Amino acid sequence: MLVRDAMSTVVLTIGPTHTLRQAAALMSARRVGAAVVHDPDAGGIGILTERDILNSVGLGEDPDTEHAHDHTTTDVVFAAPSWTLEEAARAMAHGGFRHLIVLDHDEPVGIVSVRDIIRCWAPVRQHVPA
């Protein structure tokens, strides 16, 4: 199975000046665990995850004054839609992260998460009548 078969095509893109609270609200509303941060001035694409927000709040930082650009990972490993799920899982395990931005012709077209991969690999739960 390929990344294109498992990825979420709901790509939340935010700007670098979004506060962490704004980012968290948007992520929550769309039920996603990561946002693509597009910063044309910094020259690229980064990722902000729920873990980044949690770490900031855990350190006592104010989510209303902290901005996405200060918590964005910019040294990003990108996946291609044609990668196998094994390749994506290997990249995640090697890098110690749970989300990969999927690029097609240098444009984000999706995000694949550990959860997406597990959904593809694990058998579907079936309700068994009591």
Banded model confidence at residue 44, pLDDT cuts 50, 70, 90: confident
- pLDDT greater than 80 at residue 127: no
**Domains annotated on the chain, with CATH:** 1-119 (3.10.580.10)
pLDDT in tens, 63-117: 999 999 999 998 899 999 999 999 999 999 999 999 999 999 989 999 999 999 9
- pLDDT greater than 70 at residue 125: no
| Secondary structure (3-state) at 90 | helix
What would the mean pLDDT of 14-30 be, rounded to a whole number? Answer: 97
Write out the E strands in the chain: 13-14, 34-39, 44-49, 78-79, 99-104, 107-113
Instruction: Please answer whether residues 102 and 76 qualify as being in contact, where contact means their C-beta atoms are separated by less than 8 angstroms.
Output: no
Phi, psi of 4 (to 5 degrees): -60, -25
Average pLDDT, whole number, for the chain?
92
